[in-house]
Amino acid sequence: MGWLVSLLGSSVGKKWMMAVTGFAFLGFLAAHFAGNLTVFGGRESFNGYAQKLQSLGPILHLFRAGLIACALVHITTGLLLFLQNRRARPVGYQVAASAGGRTLSSRTMPYTGLLILAFVVFHLFHFTFVPPAPLTIFDRVAAAFRRPELVALYTAMMVVVALHVRHGFWSAFQTIGAHHPKYMPWIFALSLAAAFATAIGFGSLPILVAALV
Amino acid sequence: MSQTIRLTLKIWRQKGPADPGRFETVAVDGVSTDMSFLEMLDVVNEKRILEGGEPIAFDHDCREGICGSCGAVVNGRPHGHLRGTTLCQLHMRHFRDGDTIVIEPFRARAFPVIKDLVVDRSALDRLIQAGGYVSVNTGSAPEANTLPVPPDRAERAMDAAACIGCGACVAACPNASAMLFTSAKVSHLALLPQGRPEAARRVLAMVRAMDACGFGNCSNHRECEMTCPKEISIVHIARLNREALKAGFLSPEA
Ligand code: FES
């Protein structure tokens, strides 16, 4: 047991935990996206999807528990890494320059991460931890996205998520050692594709719902 | 064609580890564009010594880009802005007349400043002591063909072995992480049959030493590979991660 604690507590171990939990979130995003699409089937289809999810009972709770565990690990490890990294350079440079490695996405990871955390909490109280009646989930979503400020908030947040995905996706592969001259170009391309899919796929939803529903 | 240029240097001056340090502005005239960056500093220092002043301390040795002694942060870039070049090999023709150049030491908690631009990089030696070696018996050399090494593998090991241990990767990393240096050593030895017997112990020991020295963690910013004067790739960091996974979960080493 001691070996596992010291292994996961090491700098590379902490990064593995970030990568593995990050992969779990990517899987969750894909599933969440598929579920969202049912909103375009109208009230019946979206409410039906929500009911089906609820009817899963223990399985749903298991998934939720897993996601919460992943979130706890990702957030605490991320914060720990952030603080350690700041401590590793107590005196900074007079001139800040980049050799071209850093991207907007890579330099903002801790900040986009914290924004996403705040958004997820808001989103859960907004749409998930709500009574099923008298308003159905479809009514709630439709009502929410009739308010332009909520459309703007949700869409902007999806761009933030996309930024996080942009660096997190390929980074997770690199961190678990999956770097191969044959596949790395694909992983980089997929990383960009996943970011665009997040921004456009999720980000357009509030706008489309506002326009169509 | 040789030209001379006029420069304003803003150089970090620090009397010793305990001194808070400050920037000093020095105007230099008549800098030949054929000079290397270090020769330019030599000229400044010679003038200072003649005037009875304190010369600017900086590290250097081979001055041909192979020893890894030199290195300062020039306008925010370790070893200056030229790709794949050490500071001693950076020439003044890459600067323009009237330029202001800010020169700072490598900054990292693990690299305390000794004086001016000289930092203590012995943390890198501690990493090597932790595992950057192979244990072999002395005596007559074994017959070469007993250990076949495919040429592509030898090439990849050489790419990692090109590391001169200057520490620019640490200086360039936003997190002051030593992952590129450490991974170059781990990768170089892990790729060769001579390094395999100790591979698991080596990677775990070097990661532990890296953390103990107070370096930051790798965030895959890639500033290191863009800055490395030997252009060592983060492919080696991925190999370190892979070696550490294998060693940590599958080998008996702890
Ligand atoms: S002095 Fe040897 S590498 Fe620059």
Mean pLDDT value across residues B219-242: 97
For domain B4-114, the question of CATH label 3.10.20.30 is answered with yes
Mutate to test the interface with A, among B220, B236, B237, B243 (most CBs of A within 10 A): B220
Residues of A in contact with B235 (CB under 8 A): 179, 181
pLDDT per residue of chain A (213 residues) written in tens, 0 to 9: 889 999 999 999 999 999 999 999 999 999 999 998 898 888 889 899 988 988 988 999 999 999 999 999 999 999 999 999 999 999 999 999 999 999 999 999 999 999 999 999 999 998 888 877 788 888 888 889 989 999 999 999 999 999 999 999 999 999 999 988 889 999 999 999 999 999 999 999 999 888 886
Question: Angle A58-87/A11-36 helices, nearest 10 degrees?
Answer: 140
Phi then psi for B188, rounded to 5 degrees? -55, -45
> What pLDDT is recorded for position A209?
86
Q: Taking CB atoms and an 8 Å limit, are B226 and A99 in contact across chains?
A: yes
Nearest alpha-carbon partner for B102 in A83, A102, A97, A70: A97
Task: Return the domain boundaries, chain B.
Answer: 4-114, 121-136+147-250
B107 to A87, A114, A169, B118, B121: CA distances (angstroms): 12, 27, 29, 11, 11
Q: Are B210 and B178 in contact (CB under 8 A)?
A: yes
Residue B5, helix vs strand vs coil? strand
Helix (H) or strand (E) holding B13: strand B4-13
| B225: Cβ contacts below 8 Å, ≥ 6 apart | A101, B169, B180, B231, B232, B233, B234
Indicate yes or no: CB of A177 within 8 angstroms of CB of B214. Answer: no
- Nearest CA-CA partner of B210 in B99, B143, B125: B125
Distance from CA of B111 to the nearest CA of A (A): 9
CA distance A81 to chain B (A): 7
| Predicted pLDDT at B1 | 62
For ligand 1, the distance from its centroid to the CA atom of residue B71, given in whole angstroms, is: 8
Ligand 1 pocket residues where CB is under 6 Å: B 60-63, 65-70, 86, 88
Residues B213-222, mean pLDDT to the nearest whole number:
97
Angle at B44 between CA B38 and CA B45, to 5 degrees: 85
Residues of B (172-211) whose Cβ lies below 8 Å from A: 172, 174-177, 179, 204, 207-208, 210-211
Residue B234 clears pLDDT 90, i.e. is over it: yes
pLDDT digits (tens, 9 = 90+) for B97-152: 999 999 999 999 999 999 999 999 999 999 999 999 999 888 888 888 888 999 99
**B169 sits in which H/E element:** helix B168-172
Nearest-Cα residue of chain B relative to residue A81: B217
- pLDDT for the residue numbered B225: 97
pLDDT of residue A155: 94
* ipTM, two decimals: 0.91
Say if residue A134 is preceded by a cis peptide, omega within 30 of 0. yes
Total tally of structural domains belonging to chain A: 1
So what's the architecture of B121-136+147-250 in CATH?
Orthogonal Bundle (1.10)
Is B104 in a helix, a strand, or coil?
Answer: strand
Q: Is B242 on the interface with A (CB under 8 A)?
A: yes
Q: What are phi and psi of B251, to 5 degrees?
A: -100, 160
Q: Do B108 and A88 touch (CB under 8 A)?
A: yes
Atom of ligand 1 nearest to the CA of B88: 4
**Cβ contact (<8 Å) for A175 and B241?**
yes
Torsion sign, CA atoms A36, A37, A38, A42:
positive
Q: What is the 3-state secondary structure (H, E, C) of A189-200?
A: HHHHHHHHHHHH
Cα of A9 to nearest chain B Cα, Å: 10
For A21, the token pair is: 């939990």
When scoring B211, B230, B231, B237 by the number of chain A Cβ atoms within 10 A, the one with the most, hence best to mutate, is B211
Share of chain B above pLDDT 70, in %: 100
Whether the predicted pLDDT of B14 surpasses 70: yes
Atom index in ligand 1 nearest the CA of residue B87 equals 4
pLDDT at A211: 85
- Please indicate if any CB of chain B lies within 8 Å of the CB of A167: yes
pLDDT the model gives residue B253: 84
| B49-98 pLDDT tens trace | 999 999 999 999 999 999 999 999 999 999 999 999 999 999 999 999 99
DSSP state for residue A90 in the 8-state scheme: S
Q: How confident is the model at residue B229 (pLDDT cuts 50, 70, 90)?
A: very high
Instruction: Identify the pLDDT of residue A213.
Output: 66
Give the percent of chain B with pLDDT over 90: 93
Which pLDDT value is given to residue A83? 97
- The answer to whether residues B175 and A92 touch, using CB atoms and an 8 Å cutoff, is no
Structural domain of A117: 2-212
Q: Which residue is closest to B111 within chain A, CA to CA?
A: A89
B233 pLDDT more than 70: yes
Q: Which pLDDT score, from 0 to 100, does residue A131 have? A: 79
Q: What is the DSSP string of A102-161?
A: --HHHHTHHHHHHHHHHHHHHHIIIIISS-SSSS-HHHHHHHHTTSHHHHHHHHHHHHHH
pLDDT mean over B173-188:
98
The rounded mean pLDDT for chain B is: 96
User: CATH no. for residue A106?
Assistant: 1.20.1300.10
The whole model's pTM is what? 0.94
pLDDT of the residue at A135: 83
